[in-house]
Amino acid sequence: MSGLLNYAAGNSFLHRLNPTVKLFCAFFLCASCFITGKISFALLIILFNLCLSLASGWVIFGRAVKILFSLMKLSVVLFLIQILFIREGEILFIILNSIIITKEGLDFSLLFVLRLIAATMPLSLVLSITRMSDISASLTRTFGIPYKYAFALTSAMRFIPLFSTEMAGIKETQMARGIELDTKNFFKKIKLFLPLCAPLLISSVRKIEGGAISAELRGFNFRTRKSGWKKYPFTFADFLALALCISIIVLSVFY
């Protein structure tokens, strides 16, 4: 998913929202996914995320679709693992006289993977339409959160696109050397990818060290609430977005 979680410039309604409001809205949508016990509601959250991505522009929508398909591939594995280990409930059918598929296991597994997809998409959307610097500066100026904590939060979110970009570069390097990383054999692919974890961690740690030195040179320890020049005022659109997301989380309780 290299590049799918990087910021994409735009002037849409969601781009113009306060960065802190975007974070809260993403949190409310994620929470509603785990509060609800309905499969249909989780599907509606996924559809709502796709609509928000479309409203942000075709580039963002294309990224959302790619992320959705990537999550679906992972969800297939998780779905099979869950459904095979849950034996409570009404038995639907038995495979090879030993594998039992129950109605409760089917419902739980499907809800589990839909929650995973629906809870992941809001954060990926926020990362695509918001600069990390705006998130940390907004948390510091608006809510008075110490810059160190805001920077730690944005750095943790920055690791997601950083790891994907580094992994893509390592993969291309290995493929240029003749290693068949695009094989269709799932087990062979895992065997080939495991040795790449070490160079991925080493290169990422080097970037972290370089980033830390750069932050120190820019006076990281002296930054305060008033250090930033950009202001992040709340507008009517921000309150409207918050009200919508709060209504969704309330609906998830009573749906």
pLDDT in tens, 67-77: 898 888 888 88
Backbone dihedral region for residue 183 (phi beyond 0: left; psi -120 to 50: alpha; all else: beta): beta
Are 10 and 60 in contact by the 8 Å Cβ rule? The answer is: yes
| 100 confidence band (pLDDT: 50, 70, 90) | confident
pLDDT of residue 218: 67
Q: What is the mean pLDDT of residues 98-124?
A: 86
Q: What is the mean pLDDT of residues 12-37?
A: 89
The number of beta carbons lying within 10 Å of the beta carbon of residue 213 is 10
Q: What is the mean pLDDT of residues 104-108?
A: 85
pLDDT of residue 51: 92
Kindly report the three-state secondary structure assignment for every residue of the chain: CCCCCCCCCCCCCCCCCCHHHHHHHHHHHHHHHHHCCCHHHHHHHHHHHHHHHHHCCHHHHHHHHHHHHHHHHHHHHHHHHHHHHCCCCCEEEEECCCEEEEHHHHHHHHHHHHHHHHHHHHHHHHHHHCCHHHHHHHHHHHHCCCHHHHHHHHHHHHHHHHHHHHHHHHHHHHHHCCCCCCCCCHHHHHHHHHHHHHHHHHHHHHHHHHHHHHHHHCCHHHCCCCCCCCCCCCCHHHHHHHHHHHHHHHHHHHC
Top mean-pLDDT range of 88-97, 116-125, 179-188, 200-209: 116-125
| 4 confidence band (pLDDT: 50, 70, 90) | low
Taking alpha carbons only, the member of 123, 115, 117 closest to residue 39 is 115
How far is 20 from 239, CA to CA, in rounded Å? Answer: 12
pLDDT of residue 239: 93
| 189 confidence band (pLDDT: 50, 70, 90) | confident
| 226 confidence band (pLDDT: 50, 70, 90) | low
The mean predicted confidence, pLDDT, of the chain is: 81
With a cut of 60, say whether residue 154 has pLDDT above it: yes
How far is 129 from 12, CA to CA, in rounded Å? Answer: 9
- Residue 93: strand pairing partners: 101
Are 200 and 174 in contact by the 8 Å Cβ rule? The answer is: no
Choose between 227 and 243: higher pLDDT. Answer: 243
Choose between 202 and 37: higher pLDDT. Answer: 37
pLDDT of residue 240: 93
| 47 confidence band (pLDDT: 50, 70, 90) | very high
Taking alpha carbons only, the member of 216, 241, 251, 237 closest to residue 122 is 241
- Percent of the chain surpassing pLDDT 90: 13
| 244 confidence band (pLDDT: 50, 70, 90) | very high
